[in-house]
Structure 1
């Protein structure tokens, strides 16, 4: 029998996504990508994924829980990995409309991932009208955050329609022997004796000095206090396990025109659009929005440049006020820009990352209970996440990806979530709603489109300019099995 390799332990944040999961609130992220051309066969697609699997070694691993919850779970190689289970194929019935694709994606997203296997699935969807097909990818949030998920996409797909050279050939792989319960317990207790100094060093490295510690943690304390005052809305109700899914998109260049005309960032423009769409949705249903300010939990990446390609979660969060009361698009954007500027300078995201790092040392049983108690508090009304995707086309087996729409999980008593991802000059909105509480999610999508057109109309019209050459995409690299070290906080997306 071969020597047992020391398995990698999940971070406190990664583990929290497991603790937060329940039958009505699954903690996986997903995306629906649409491609032009005839779909590859299932065998072609499966073999293509197999040839790239060594670049994302975590896709070959599954969870192993420490006995008696004496430590956070670890990742171990799955010796019984079956790609036919993870790489699946289905077809839409005629006519193969976008609505049918959305309904299928919602059903797939509603199904919990099997924790006894590697926590990911890829669905090849044939029969989409207009000579198109789709790929629906799903991974547990404990496995990836939004940014590292984008990196996985660029690894599995190609940067050219016809890649130069021979097709990738996966090197031989042999699963490491599985650790025993005794070994898992021993390593967990060893870690308890060594973790505090390591965590302290990591936190100290992330900060410039004591003042930033106090400023960041103080801002986070205010964030939680403010978040607990999030108003009661139609979006904050008990939810079930089933989901609805809607997609809408706009041009990144249009949002940049708005940013250039009125100030702020593209992310500020997007948040103001979300606030405008929610305001329209509520007013159309007779709700009084006067003075109403919702609170959005906005994840921000704390992943350093050298950590891109690494799996696991390197995210923090800010609580952003959404001025849904404001009907004027320019005033709403100015309010949003000012609020986000204050949040960034407050160090709120830095403070949140510090507290998150401290959960790495919390005994697993305590962390588990804390994670389950947390959703009972209404810190925010909804999640709005904006992930910058590749600004160049991607291909799979010679077929170009036309668009990609994110799918973000709902937390307890959170019936609506807005995911945004830019790709190749587009800004794509993926809307997830509880099946019963958001039966009119399609109406909200229309309200969001109206708010988008409204704010774009306030910017000067496009002018003909010389086309700039697009930045050359980075060479594909393997997604590392882990990420270490501190990183600067970057909330600005563009």
Structure 2
């Protein structure tokens, strides 16, 4: 009797995109995303915070899992339960010395963001920080292989409460770690999946040639647009130097109404406003470094979520990217806005995001050696000058143990040869810019934060108070 055996993909195996973030983590580049969360009121007791986090961990099972690597690099890593999991290893406790101001909090965040996450453990940390004046902070780190910015917003709403005095929920279910697979099983499963993944793509082509043909046409056009942007490269700048492992962190914040007023006054989007003020700050930064920006366009890598609504809250990355021009050579802020608005509209029509999404899918069938080679190529090439990511967050207050979250300063990692990353998060009517800089290359990061605040002020309508 003929038997048909269908091998299913391992749902716990990292996607090609997630695995690429592991490959990119070298030579001082740390691939974790993070945030500095500032709360009002007195800090909770450390034991209470640990208990609170433990009560929610069943909603995010990956937080109890570590990476297991198939022998001989036969395949991408898989997530397995960490039988030695200890919440207190991941939820940590610190305090600022007096006077406990924002400068000290920023320095602490820079030091914590400088430390690579231990790959032998689940890839996340929370730091409870006391002594921040009359407030307290929680500094968060999660490896990019585990979570991207868009799904991270959903996880925050899972870990935090929507009102200061929530009704008590059901007790969390008892967690029993599943046995980790043996090395031989990891090896065999990786070999089978390496063969099966391209076959699954081929079956999709045979089963739906019309759908695949249309998608392939769009993907090819998108790849062409993405390749053209990449071949053009990014101009040299003080931002593109060899980076080390150490970081500085700074932030700027403004009212969401200010950016909305900017986009309404100039006829664009909030994202156009964000990119325009970043361009204005970079223009001032270039002048300070004795570089004439006349006629120059820097390039920002702008990640875009391609996660379907049904996938919101799922872990792992569903992102694509576009290369957005930043007209630092344009002196007039209103003209800069019009340039950015037209450029972003053109990028969307060019299909760059579709091309990037096609590369993401191809990474899903790439061998680990191919991903490693791609990481080495990324270390040698310069397709963009910096990363700018803009994530819309919840426009209502969040709480932890009855304390209201007042500020949400996000952090995006630095890639090799790129000394500045800017993450933007809107939350509860405000917009928070988190600035991560290489410690040596961005020694003037605080001045750049001032440049960003000035760029917002110069673009805002005169009737708006910044």
- Which interval holds the TM-score relative to the shorter structure? over 0.9
> In 1, distance between residues paired with 2:10 and 2:196?
16
Aligned position for 1:487: none
> In 2, distance between residues paired with 1:384 and 1:445?
14
* Cα displacement (A) at 1:6: 6.0
Q: Does 1:265 align with 2:269?
A: yes
Runs of at least 5 residues in structure 1 that lack an aligned partner in the other structure: 463-494
Q: 1:318-352: CA deviations, max 9, x gaps?
A: 00010001121111000000000000111101111
* Cα displacement (A) at 1:419: 0.9
Instruction: Count the aligned residue pairs.
Output: 453
Which one of the candidate residues 191, 194, 201 is aligned to 1:192? 194
Aligned position for 1:173: 175
> In 1, distance between residues paired with 2:244 and 2:254?
31
Aligned position for 1:358: 362
Q: Does 1:157 align with 2:160?
A: yes
Q: 1:118-161: CA deviations, max 9, x gaps?
A: 000000000111x2000001000000111111111111000001
> In 2, distance between residues paired with 1:206 and 1:426?
42
Give 1:294-443 correspondences, 5 Å limit.
294-443=298-447
Q: 1:21-69: CA deviations, max 9, x gaps?
A: 0241111111000000100011000000000000000000000001000
Find the residue that maps to 2:55 and give its secondary structure: helix
Q: 1:133-190: CA deviations, max 9, x gaps?
A: 00001000000111111111111000001112x2452101111111011111111111
Aligned position for 1:182: 184
* Cα displacement (A) at 1:206: 8.6
Aligned position for 1:225: 231
Give 1:55-134 correspondences, 5 Å limit.
55-129=59-133, 131-134=134-137
Give 1:248-259 correspondences, 5 Å limit.
248-259=252-263
Please give the root-mean-square deviation of Cα atoms over the aligned residues, in Å: 1.8
Aligned position for 1:147: 150
Runs of at least 5 residues in structure 2 that lack an aligned partner in the other structure: 1-8
> In 2, distance between residues paired with 1:7 and 1:265?
37
Find the residue that maps to 1:237 and give its secondary structure: coil
> In 1, distance between residues paired with 2:201 and 2:96?
49
* Cα displacement (A) at 1:209: 4.0
> Structure 1's 330 and 206: CA in aligned 2 closer, same or farther, altered over 3 A?
farther
Aligned position for 1:10: 14
> In 2, distance between residues paired with 1:234 and 1:46?
42
The 8 Å contact of residues 16 and 76 in structure 2, kept in 1 or not, is answered as yes
Which one of the candidate residues 451, 457, 461 is aligned to 1:447? 451
> In 2, distance between residues paired with 1:212 and 1:121?
40
> Structure 1's 209 and 15: CA in aligned 2 closer, same or farther, altered over 3 A?
closer
Find the residue that maps to 1:10 and give its secondary structure: coil
> In 2, distance between residues paired with 1:264 and 1:197?
44
* Cα displacement (A) at 1:220: 1.7
* Cα displacement (A) at 1:363: 1.7
> In 2, distance between residues paired with 1:116 and 1:231?
39
Q: Does 1:282 align with 2:301?
A: no
* Cα displacement (A) at 1:211: 3.3
> In 1, distance between residues paired with 2:257 and 2:147?
29
* Cα displacement (A) at 1:224: 1.7
> In 2, distance between residues paired with 1:370 and 1:411?
13
> In 1, distance between residues paired with 2:193 and 2:303?
29
Find the residue that maps to 2:431 and give its secondary structure: strand
TM-score, normalised to structure 1, is: 0.89
* Cα displacement (A) at 1:317: 0.4
Find the residue that maps to 1:300 and give its secondary structure: strand
